[in-house]
Structure 1
Amino acid sequence: MGTYLLIFAGCAAVAVNQRTAGTVTFPGVCITWGLAVMVMVYSVGHISGAHLNPAVTLAFATCGRFPWIQVPAYAAAQVTGSTAASLTLRLLFGSEPEHFFGTVPSGSDVQSLVLEFIITFYLMFVISGVATDNRAIGELAGLAVGATVLLNVLFAGPYQEHP
């Protein structure tokens, strides 16, 4: 449910922005993604550990903070949630190529890969810092992770309309 709501909110913000000639604005899209992550961390964190992304689940399992036996079920739930959200948006907004609500890399494949690696590292660094260290203020984890997503989208996620 957390992954579904995250993907639905973030991609819906892009869809509405495209459909309304930019009324949401790019900063508004960034804020939507960050707030959606923050809200999901606070609402489902106590249930699932707020694993909204398979990268988080894998990182926690790799560090011994999550049981490997549960990784396949969590990853399946995350993929199912994101797929269901995408299908819901497709039903609501259509499936024509001009209704593509994702990002299109503006640089080379290598630039895109390196940027994605850096922002994923940045996100995992923050999540690991606020969620695994007893010295961190756990109550602020959702705010820190949501703000990190907002920043990542702000500098690495400018979307373009599908060509």
Structure 2
Amino acid sequence: MTTPNDAQQAEIGLRSFGRPNSVVSQFDFWNDRYEGRRLFSEVLGTFFLVLVAVGGGLVNARFGGDAVPAAARVVAPALMVSAIILFMGTVSGAHLNPAVSMAFALRGDFPWKRVPAYIVAQFVGAALATLLLWALVGKHGTAGLTLPGAGISTTTAMIWELVLTTGLVSIILGTASGAQQIGPLAAIGVGSYIALAGLWGAPVSGASMNPVRSLGPALVLTHWTSWWAYLVGPVAGATIAVGFAHVLRGRGGGRSGVEAAMGTLGAHWHSNPRK
């Protein structure tokens, strides 16, 4: 088990002054014994996200095409993400998205050793949500799936997802930086971006910005059209966002010890560069 050293504990104490429960939560996030709790949170959070994101399309198809308006189908997942950040962000960081987990790892705020398990947990949550929806309301063609819009090529959809994901991950990294730890208000920023991107971007690519939101349902419903666009686009967008964050903040970025400690999307511990 890896635990913070004395200097890290002192820094946590200073950053957490006036917030009685935050020090314990940060130690829990560092403590390997609680990895199961974190992974369960990622499964649960991604389950609810995909339940809303895929469920909107399936329910709409099940009840005639006007039951859930198009605007509601893109705003509802954004509201769910905001709620998930608020209720479980301090447990797992509320990544809910492999692109986000990879971005934090690339920036050095999240241990690479945790990334594979996080991604598996996210896929499990997405698959379980889709299975439940299938059992309750049935399968209705391509309803609920993320696909390019009419007349849109897979390449165009991939580039669209890349651009949208670059913006999303930039928002997430920006609200989890050492100079801008805005705590629960990050839920508003992230949720607002997802809603705004969906309102104008969904007709082109579906505005997924999340590989598990697209590939989890595709796996369950066995529909793999244009699947690679929804893997390559978000991952490339997240990588570009990390590069932008480096340019904006410079080498080191003013960070020390704890990065975004229990603040925006939850606990993102700055990994020890000597490891």
Tell me the TM-score normalized by structure 2.
0.55
1:8 counterpart residue number: 51
Higher RCO, Cα 8 Å, sep 6+: 1
Q: Is the 8 A contact 2:49 2:77 kept in 1?
A: yes
1:43 counterpart residue number: 87
Amino acid in the other structure paired with 1:101: G
Determine which structure has the larger helix proportion and give its number. 1
Q: Is the 8 A contact 1:93 1:99 kept in 2?
A: no
Q: Is the 8 A contact 1:13 1:24 kept in 2?
A: yes
**Residue of structure 2 aligned with 1:124, choices 169, 177, 180:** 169
Q: Deviations over 1:18-63 (max 9, x none)?
A: 2233122011111101101111111110101111001100000010
List alignment gaps of at least 5 residues for structure 2.
1-43, 207-222, 224-275
Q: Deviations over 1:92-125 (max 9, x none)?
A: 12235x2631232121122111101001101100
2:96 counterpart residue number: 52
Q: Deviations over 1:71-96 (max 9, x none)?
A: 11111101111111111111112235
| Partners of 2:184 and 2:147 in 1: CA distance | 35
**Residue of structure 2 aligned with 1:66, choices 107, 110, 116:** 110
* Same amino acid, percent of matched pairs: 36
Structure 2 CA distance for partners of 1:99 and 1:116, relative to 1, 3 Å: closer
| 1:87 and 2:127 matched | no
Amino acid in the other structure paired with 1:90: W
| 1:138 and 2:189 matched | no
Which consecutive aligned stretches of 4+ in structure 1 deviate over 3 angstroms post-superposition? Answer: none
1:155 counterpart residue number: 200
Q: CA deviation at 1:141?
A: 0.5
Counting matched residue pairs gives 159
2:69 counterpart residue number: 25
Q: Is the 8 A contact 2:57 2:143 kept in 1?
A: no
| Partners of 2:62 and 2:138 in 1: CA distance | 11
Tell me the TM-score normalized by structure 1.
0.90
1:114 counterpart residue number: 159
| Partners of 2:200 and 2:129 in 1: CA distance | 24
| Partners of 1:27 and 1:157 in 2: CA distance | 9
Q: Highest Rg: 1 or 2?
A: 2
| Partners of 1:100 and 1:13 in 2: CA distance | 9
Provide the alpha-carbon RMSD of the alignment: 1.7
Amino acid in the other structure paired with 2:145: G
